[in-house]
Amino acid sequence: MDKANIISTFKNIQDNICNGLNKITGQLYHEDNWNYKDGKGGGRTRIFSGEIVEKGGVNFSALEGVLSEKIANKLKGGGHQFFATGVSLVIHPKNPFVPTIHMNIRYIERGKKSWFGGGIDLTPYYIDKTSIIDFHKTLKQICDEHKIANYQKYKTQCDKYFFIKHRNEARGVGGIFFDYLNEDPIDTFNFIKDLGYNFNKIYLPILTNYKNKKYTKTQREFQLYRRGRYVEFNLVYDRGTLFGLETQGRIESILMSLPPLTSWTYNWSPKANSEESKLYEMIKPKDWISM
């Protein structure tokens, strides 16, 4: 694969997403350009902070370096030299009726092996079935346009991956998750591009519809409580976070996925039949596109 083309495309996808967020929210981003201190390359970290996107990061990076023994044992390919580039984002809206969203698209080389990976998933606090169904249908449409992509397989992998084992619950309502795609590099790259360039179509309508909806103190407190689950997953299980830490990546960029505010209330549970209690039923894996 042409690494320069992949890098250029990922930078354009980052620009496209940031421009879309700016148009909808009116918020500007803070940009940090940084160099990878333990190898070659670096990245562009862009952070949104304000009244609509309370905290959001849209990151690009392209790095070359040497893998630690711990990470080398977990990746395909031989040797310890690696190249990795990608776009990673997390958007934490302030309004509890707008779900948090995460997306990552990446390309990695190690030894003679190279592959694409990534995914996108939605983490709501209050359930709007229509938005979730549309989210999954759009992902299936994108997958169906590429022979290498399999929505049902990727959805199942997403449900399995974004599961908080120590809580015995899902992080959100899933999406798609995939890794080690290398059978048809051209079609796979086209699939990755479609996912990246369609982010604005996937998420911005949800943000637009609910960003100004009135909410109560109780609803805000529930959002902060559920954000705690997000933090737990990212610090304990998330591969991207662990990879970044193990490769001595830029810590501020790695941890940009964490929300600005959260809470852990001891032994809390929602009241029976409350709006909050409905979330716990709805985050159980479902066939959303058939609902």
- Residues forming beta bridges with residue 175, ordered by sequence position: 121
Structure tokens at 18: 């940031």
The predicted pLDDT at position 245 comes to 81
- Quote the CA–CA distance of 129 and 223 in Å, as a whole number: 18
Residues in the chain where the model's pLDDT stays below 50:
none
> Structural domain tally of the chain?
1
Answering whether pTM is above 0.85, one says yes
The predicted pLDDT at position 36 comes to 87
Catalytic residue list: 102
The predicted pLDDT at position 11 comes to 98
Please write the tens of the pLDDT for every residue from 237-283: 988 888 778 777 788 888 889 999 999 999 999 999 999 999 999 99
The predicted pLDDT at position 15 comes to 98
The predicted pLDDT at position 115 comes to 95
The predicted pLDDT at position 69 comes to 75
C-beta separation of 177 from 161 below 8 A: yes
Please write the tens of the pLDDT for every residue from 118-142: 999 999 999 999 999 999 999 999 9
The predicted pLDDT at position 20 comes to 98
The predicted pLDDT at position 198 comes to 98
Q: Domain of 201?
A: 3-290
The predicted pLDDT at position 174 comes to 97
CATH number at residue 27: 3.40.1500.10
